[in-house]
Structure 1
Amino acid sequence: MKKQSSFLAIFLSAMILLTGCGTSTSSSPAADPAQAPAGDSTFKVGLEAGYAPFNWTQMDDSNGAVKIDGSSEFAGGYDVEIAKKIAQSLGKELVVVKTEWDGLVPALTSGKIDAIIAGMSPTAERKETIDFSDNYYKSNLVMVVKKGSKYEGATSIQDFKGAKVTAQLNTFHYSVIPQIEGVEQQPALDNFPAMRVALESGVIDGYVSERPEAVSAAAANPNYVMVEFKDGFQTSEDDTAIAVGVKKDSELTQKINEALAGISEEERTQIMDAAIKNQPAAQ
């Protein structure tokens, strides 16, 4: 019995020694393809998922929606469809990172995301911090009001003299409101759902938006009306354009531009029309 125990102890010691040697001579992580950074194969895109029809949140993957990273929810909309095409062109897997509007640029500059595809305009102020791709959409500014209000038939922004008007926080939409003489500019709100609630409750008379969002608002709620102007807001081309935000001097800029060049104007219109049609009723 003693001899058997001694033999067993020697055998186990030898096995432990062999195992340790095997570990010390294995390939280093840098040389092992399986150890390559996971981010190399993904294209991480930040968006609010709350700005229909550009982007929204839904509970399933219908109509091509993409799962939101770290969530059971999905993101759909025009931005998501554009992001899918860019990711395909890059040969990478699209990862949607749901991010509050004010957190998008910090998320990009910190490396949490690779790009912002969120209905963002390439304004001069933003260009001081990040770079932008070529435009992937252009839209006009409109106003959203309640049906039956005295502002429903407005044809000029000056028809909103004395009206309580707001727009989204930290957007050029809010900066144009003072162009309306005698307007009662209200505090900016964080997002479009909040503005719709304020409009419904009578806290505001209208909010400034882009045409696709206004069409979506009217489609989602028959109490909302989109007002387009013959005499509208004065804006720059960069204000009304929409582009992909990337880090300063990023090599992604040229690659994204190549992907966008492959999407015709006709296809972009079709994508937007489908987004307006497919948006969730609540958004």
Structure 2
Amino acid sequence: MKKRLSMFSIVFLVAMLLLAGCGSGGSESGGSGDDNTFKVGMEAAYAPFNWTQGDDSNGAVKIDGNAEYAGGYDVEIAKQIAKDLGKELVIVKTEWDGLVPALTSGKIDAIIAGMSPTAERKETIDFSDHYYTSELVMVVKKGGKYEGATTLADFSGAKVTAQLNTFHYSVIDQIEGVSKQTAMESFPAMRVALESGMIDGYVSERPEAVSAAAANENFAMVEFTDGFETSEEDTAIAVGLEKGSDLTEQINESLKAISEEKRQEIMDTAIKNQPAAQ
């Protein structure tokens, strides 16, 4: 009887160890821990890269835990990556400041949110290869004092702002004599501030500025002949990933398959499809 009990105990312990080993699988690379989903964080408030809408028109994806849907350039890129990974795409709507913490805590698997792979961010997270590169411009009131500006010097004395915790805000210091305003939480907030006259302009990337002018006939985009000094890592956009993520190589392979022509086509379509209120 003692021998039988001993054998039973050994078999039981081995079975428990095997089960424990299976349960820990997939945790090494961090992320959400669900092998069947690809959880992507984004603001869903930065058209044409990403926005929120009420239905699934134009290929929008339902936002996790929300009755609304996310659409835009980033969503289309995320859909292609998820397809190549063989996973179901899950969009997790997250405030800009919460994106990196959500990634490092494992709530999401990737950030696809028009994020630049700056040196500061690289200290905390990894990035994929670039999936879009843009230039910095200014969004101003149409018909106003600054619509005809061509150089940074033209904005001397202007009330200018940019989004909080972005390199857009830091480059304002390159404008001599500018009246630098408090950074704002989101692009919709800056558009409201511009419309009301609280600011004279805000720094943005070209796609967002085109989007702003398309959504509001009172806005115009200023492209510079003598503009901001930036590095490639500032104006490029990449997928944010947890340090050492085993998804990086696979995502780079997926991005490599999207030609420059296709990327521009996706962006042009996103600008066309953006909701009027974005």
Settle same-fold status: TM greater than 0.5: yes
Matched residue type, 1:208? V
Decide which of 82, 93, 98 is 2:93's aligned counterpart. Answer: 98
SS state at 2:34 partner? helix
Matched, 1:62 2:57: yes
Letter of the 1:184 partner, please give it.
S
User: Aligned letter for 2:83?
Assistant: Q
Q: Name the residue aligned to 1:158.
A: 153
| Counterpart check, 1:75 vs 2:70 | yes
Distance 2:147 2:222 in 1: 7
Paired position in structure 2 for 1:148: 143
How much does 1:94 deviate?
A: 0.2
Q: Distance in 1 between matches of 2:45 and 2:230?
A: 24
Q: How many residues end up aligned between the 2 structures?
A: 257
| Deviation (angstroms), 1:157 | 1.1
Post-superposition CA distance 1:47-70 (Å, at most 9, x none) = 000000000000000000000000
| In structure 2, distance between residues paired with 1:55 and 1:106 | 19
CA distance in 2, matches of 1:245, 1:175: 21
1:128 has 2:119 as partner: no
**Amino acid aligned to 1:239:** D
Shift of residue 231, structure 1, vs aligned partner? 0.2
The reply on whether 1:53 has 2:48 as its aligned counterpart is: yes
- Partner secondary structure for residue 48 of structure 2: coil
Aligned partner of residue 211 in structure 2, secondary structure: helix
SS at match of 1:40: coil
Q: CA deviation at 1:78?
A: 0.1
Q: Which residue does the alignment assign to 2:193?
A: 198
Partner of 1:144: helix, strand, or coil? strand
Aligned with 2:105 (options 101, 110, 118): 110
Note the aligned Cα RMSD (angstroms).
1.9
The Cα offsets for residues 170-223 of structure 1, whole Å up to 9 and x where unpaired, read as 000000001000000000000000000000000000000000000000000000
1:251 maps to 246
List runs of 5+ in structure 1 lacking aligned partners.
Answer: 1-23
Matched, 1:179 2:174: yes
Residue of structure 1 in register with 2:211 after alignment: 216
- Structure 2, gaps ≥5 residues long: 1-11, 27-32
> 1:240 matched to which residue of 2?
235
User: After the TM superposition, which parts of structure 1 deviate over 3 Å for at least 4 consecutive aligned residues?
Assistant: 27-31
SS of 1:239's partner is helix
- SS of residue paired to 2:35: helix
Q: Could you report, residue by residue, the CA deviation over 1:75-108 in whole angstroms, capped at 9, with x for unpaired residues?
A: 0000000000000000000000000000000000
Q: Which residue of 2 aligns with 1:5?
A: none
Shift of 1:30: 4.2
Q: What displacement does 1:136 show?
A: 0.1
Per-residue CA distance 1:6-34 (angstroms, 9 max, x = gap): xxxxxxxxxxxxxxxxxx9xx98949x9x
Aligned partners of 1:231 and 1:109: how far apart in 2?
A: 38
Partner Cα distance (2:275, 2:152) in 1: 30
Q: Which has the larger radius of gyration?
A: 1
